[in-house]
Structure 1
Amino acid sequence: MPRRRHAALILVALSALAACSAGPSTRPVIAVRGDGAESAQAAVPSGPREVPPLEDFEQGGLTWSSCTEETESRMAGTAPAGDHEYECARLTVRLDASNRPGRGSLGVALLRVGTGGTPLVVVGDAEGEPGTLKAARLAAVLPAEVLSTFTLIGVDRRGTGQSDGVQCVPNSARTAIVEADPADPTSEDLQEAFTKASQECVIDLENRLTAVDSWRTAADLEQLREALGVPHLNGIGVGEGSRVLTTYASRYPDRIGRLVLDGAPDPTLDAQGVAEARAVAAGEAFAAFEKDCVLRGCPLGATATSRFTALLEALRDAPLRGEDVDLTPGTATVAVLVGLADRSRWPQLADALVAAEGGDGSKLTAFVAPLLVDQDDSPPWLDAGIVTTCNDTTTRIPPERVNSLTADWREKHPLFGAYFARKLLTCGPFPVPQAVQVPKLVGAPPVLVLTSAADPVTPAAGGERAAQALPAGVVVAWQGSGHGALGQSVCATTAAQEFLVNAKVPVSGTVCPP
């Protein structure tokens, strides 16, 4: 065995042993070093502050080139309505791995759209659509005044999209993770898949492994702000992207601009609490999907729940073979969760479930394809999602505890409880990151936090607690379903527009109809 691979496997084994012997941590987020944030903290007054003014960015700070045709191609025929032009650039940032602080570099992909003079950065989920594409899609649904006031700048966060990507999980392990049946009474096959993922990622990424996290992504945004030549960073955080923006705020409190968090993760829960909250919210989202089916007259109608569970049983007996992945109970569950998160795809999800009942699994497996295979020079989403998640927490839950939770949650949350319980195995074999407390944010301007009543990715209660943890968090609660309210709720989108463009802060607790 080559010396490098042997040493890496020893590291994996020791890390897993340490995780099991130490027991699960309750720290949901980790951080390393301050890079000047501590001195900035001392200079910032505590309590709420005024909404910062809008500032023009320097056109020469980055080298942009047209990428309209490429972007429309990446959007697979769903390009935004209207005459949008896209430009792309690349920002070189510090790698800053834990064993090589301040050293190394990597490339971060950027996309801009809009004609406004003020930059508005868009950061998304690590295991989701890259930020460049998210910015392009937001351009289709945000009011015209936003795009004439701001230039949206989408960021493919570390390891994702067309940035220096993370693609280290073996194909066989990636497929096994998605195909794993949540009803399996043992977790041995899933444990083995995550162990293979850990081993190969440690070997393949080497120094880069520990550098793919939200803490360092926040530092990337600071380098982007400097390149843009603006005193404050304005931004939209979608889902886990909100964690990056709140981490940025804690590290650089004197540079906070106008921030909108669209579906913020809960900063108070540990990994187990987050998983159970997501199981509950996913069940609520599926109930809303069923009601929507009734209203639209879709083929599933009021029987969506019973037909979905019947489909899982049928797939348990006879999976549908596919090119990249088979449609198993696990694949169908992941596909449904992906579909529930995107409200605009609910009709497509209903059609896919009906097709699967008839023996055609291709429409459902299409929902999970971005997680598993390269698309448009972007690596599979699953890899960066796993690595970022496991670097953002020191929690490692032993398999026997996961098995106990699986049995319990299968009864308490029948549709998705077992799936989210078994997902807690993800980080078990991965090295435990160095943990340093994130600086406490004591002073900040108002931050707008949008929640969705049934959000299967970042449940609404977590967003409310995220707002409470901010010095001046303001909640606008959409009573609809899906991951994110921007572009889905006219009320929530208008509130974001007024806040971003006119510095009008809504009354916290404002409720938007479904």
Structure 2
Amino acid sequence: MPRRHPPRRHARRAVLAALLPVLVVAGCTVGPSTRPAVVQNDAPAPTERDREESPAPLPPLGEPGSSRIGWSDCAAETREQLGEAAGRNLNYECAYLTTTLDPPGMPGQGLARMSVLKAGDGPVPLVVVNDVDGEPGTRYAARLAATLPDELLQQFSLIGVDRRGTGGSDAVRCIPSAERATLLDSDPSEGIQRPLDAARTAGQQCAIALEDEQGAIDTRRTTSDLETLRENLGMDRLHALGHGEGSRVLAVYSARFPDKTGRMVLDGMPDPSDDHATVLDGVAGGAEATLDAAGAQLGRDLRADVTALTGELDRGAPLTSGGYRLTPQLAVRAVLSGLAQRDRWADLADAVAAARSGDPNPLFGFVRPHIVEDRLAAARLDGTIATQCNDTVTRQPADRLASTARDLARNHPVFGAALAQELVWCSPWPTRSDEPGDIASEHTPPIVVVSTETDPVTPGKGTVRAADQMPRAVHVAWKGAGHGALSSACVTDAARGFLVDGEVPRDGTLCPA
């Protein structure tokens, strides 16, 4: 969507000293369902806790009050960006809200900007939150709206949110281009010093560029942005859908604001463990299983193709695209990005084949949004690192980083080394004293948590562990492959019944692949 770019950090500092009101810039209680599970199976989905037999009643959808958001038409621009993915002829409107920056040490002070998009004309707002390293939430919501059932869009309009520090919400721009490339193209299992030096430089430059804002890019403050959005939408409760790591934002929101939580579907919660290395081990395993699943769907040995490509890049003449050298690890990063987009698996396989034939451009296209910034769009890596590093207090010494990277590369030969890069990113980042927030609350209404068995970003086992920590979670398990389960008709039907009709799925519902 087209974005205006007002003056950034230095202009904000003039107002940091005052508490600021939130301004708009851009102008039948339902109980648990007796409906049978969508798919019944004698073997229930795995769980590690005993959930209540009768969860608390769902709140009503409610009637929207007076909205204070000044929407403006952005349909033409949105359809142009989506291309064929626009599908049905929906209406799209865009707006900006001003929220409180709330940097550490200066609570309630400063200004931040939030970009939102409304897709469709349903009367009830359904807020959509995407992964921090995925496409901006506004665009993701527009794309998702084109795939959802008519019945759901008759009840809801989707409200996509560019999370704090991403997309049109004052996207973070602070990592120098050369360091950004090093963070994504290096192999920490072969040598830790090069990526560690790049991470130090990135952290220093972000501290200079972001100033007070550096510590304000995190999950907890993003939940405050969502609370601001709820108020401006005129809703008593926030109804929402989270995708991947965006689900954690909504889980933290529900624990912070249980009395403001409405009907929520969390599609692919990340593993909540504090052990980052163990989480990455699970992600690497999920990514390699997804690579095999994608290959099987396409009738190709995609794992063999990727392995052959990385070997050729390691031994042969370097390939470059857009001024960037396609190293083995940058190629693997591109494959990871492609695996997260199930509808583009055929394009990914063709891109791998093209790179093996000497044309790296299609494959580089998958990683380009993460590494390249221009006037219209920031590189996604900057906002990703700021958010991830502010959300964790874990920092590891260099020797332990190196040994863990070697373990990941040995256990997962395709993706282990690339994912080990993430252990290095936060090593020199300032350590935070506060956590992003709990995901567990006894006081929320039932929340549907959907796991995907074979997921390259939020593997099913990690999602189950997250659901086990949420007392009011109702778990739906999809036996398929891909990032997120809304491509499953069975899961979509369960989500529709929950959101529209207030029918709580049976805990442990299984949906076939």
SS in 2 for 1:444: coil
Which of 182, 186, 192 is the aligned partner of 1:180?
186
User: How far apart in 1 are the matches of 2:210 and 2:421?
Assistant: 25
Query: By percentage of residues, which structure has more helix?
Result: 1
SS in 2 for 1:453: strand
Q: Please tell me whether the aligned partners of residues 336 and 349 of structure 1 are also in contact (alpha carbons under 8 angstroms).
A: yes
Which of 103, 120, 143 is the aligned partner of 1:137?
143
SS in 2 for 1:475: strand
Q: Which residue of 1 aligns with 2:308?
A: 310
User: How far apart in 1 are the matches of 2:435 and 2:285?
Assistant: 31
Which of 99, 102, 108 is the aligned partner of 2:114?
108
- Is residue 485 from structure 1 mapped to residue 485 from structure 2 by the alignment? yes
Displacement, 1:376? Answer: 7.6
Displacement, 1:129? Answer: 0.7
Q: Please tell me whether the aligned partners of residues 114 and 151 of structure 1 are also in contact (alpha carbons under 8 angstroms).
A: yes
Which of 127, 131, 134 is the aligned partner of 1:125?
131
Displacement, 1:421? Answer: 2.4
Q: Please tell me whether the aligned partners of residues 162 and 377 of structure 1 are also in contact (alpha carbons under 8 angstroms).
A: no
User: How far apart in 2 are the matches of 1:53 and 1:197?
Assistant: 47
Q: Which residue of 1 aligns with 2:18?
A: none
Displacement, 1:71? Answer: 1.5
Q: Once the two structures are superposed, what CA deviation does each residue of 1:227-282 show, in whole Å capped at 9, x if it has no partner?
A: 11211100011111111101111111111100000110122342122111111111
- Structure 1 residues 342 and 498: CA distance shift in structure 2, 3 A: same
Q: Once the two structures are superposed, what CA deviation does each residue of 1:404-425 show, in whole Å capped at 9, x if it has no partner?
A: 1222222222211222223211
SS in 1 for 2:325: coil
- Structure 1 residues 495 and 453: CA distance shift in structure 2, 3 A: same
Q: Which residue of 2 aligns with 1:56?
A: 63
Moved more, 274-283 or 468-477: 468-477
Q: Which amino acid aligns with 2:210?
A: L
- Is residue 73 from structure 1 mapped to residue 71 from structure 2 by the alignment? no
User: How far apart in 2 are the matches of 1:344 and 1:307?
Assistant: 19
Structure 1: runs of 5+ lacking an equivalent: 1-45, 295-300
Q: Which amino acid aligns with 1:411?
A: R
Q: Once the two structures are superposed, what CA deviation does each residue of 1:337-388 show, in whole Å capped at 9, x if it has no partner?
A: 0011111110000100110110000010000111122368231111000000
Which of 249, 255, 262 is the aligned partner of 2:254?
249
- Structure 1 residues 78 and 327: CA distance shift in structure 2, 3 A: farther
- Is residue 82 from structure 1 mapped to residue 88 from structure 2 by the alignment? yes
Q: Once the two structures are superposed, what CA deviation does each residue of 1:86-116 show, in whole Å capped at 9, x if it has no partner?
A: 0001111000000211000111000001221
Displacement, 1:513? Answer: 1.5
User: How far apart in 1 are the matches of 2:432 and 2:80?
Assistant: 38
Q: Please tell me whether the aligned partners of residues 444 and 472 of structure 1 are also in contact (alpha carbons under 8 angstroms).
A: yes
Q: Which residue of 1 aligns with 2:283?
A: 278
Q: Which residue of 2 aligns with 1:466?
A: 466
Report runs of 4+ in structure 1 exceeding 4 Å deviation. Answer: none
Q: Which amino acid aligns with 1:413?
A: H
User: How far apart in 1 are the matches of 2:441 and 2:180?
Assistant: 38
Q: Please tell me whether the aligned partners of residues 161 and 377 of structure 1 are also in contact (alpha carbons under 8 angstroms).
A: no
SS in 1 for 2:118: strand
Q: Which amino acid aligns with 1:473?
A: A
Which of 197, 200, 203 is the aligned partner of 2:205?
200
Q: Which amino acid aligns with 1:339?
A: G
Displacement, 1:437? Answer: 7.8
Q: Once the two structures are superposed, what CA deviation does each residue of 1:15-34 show, in whole Å capped at 9, x if it has no partner?
A: xxxxxxxxxxxxxxxxxxxx
User: How far apart in 2 are the matches of 1:285 and 1:195?
Assistant: 33
User: How far apart in 1 are the matches of 2:66 and 2:361?
Assistant: 45
User: How far apart in 2 are the matches of 1:58 and 1:379?
Assistant: 35
Q: Please tell me whether the aligned partners of residues 135 and 152 of structure 1 are also in contact (alpha carbons under 8 angstroms).
A: yes
Q: Paired residues, what number?
A: 459
Q: Which amino acid aligns with 2:389?
A: C
The alignment-based identity, stated in percent, is 45
Q: Please tell me whether the aligned partners of residues 71 and 93 of structure 2 are also in contact (alpha carbons under 8 angstroms).
A: yes
User: How far apart in 2 are the matches of 1:161 and 1:449?
Assistant: 26
SS in 1 for 2:240: strand
User: How far apart in 2 are the matches of 1:192 and 1:230?
Assistant: 47
User: How far apart in 1 are the matches of 2:355 and 2:389?
Assistant: 33
Which of 97, 104, 107 is the aligned partner of 2:103?
97
Residues 256-275 of structure 1: matches in 2 within 5 Å?
256-275=261-280
Q: Please tell me whether the aligned partners of residues 403 and 422 of structure 1 are also in contact (alpha carbons under 8 angstroms).
A: no
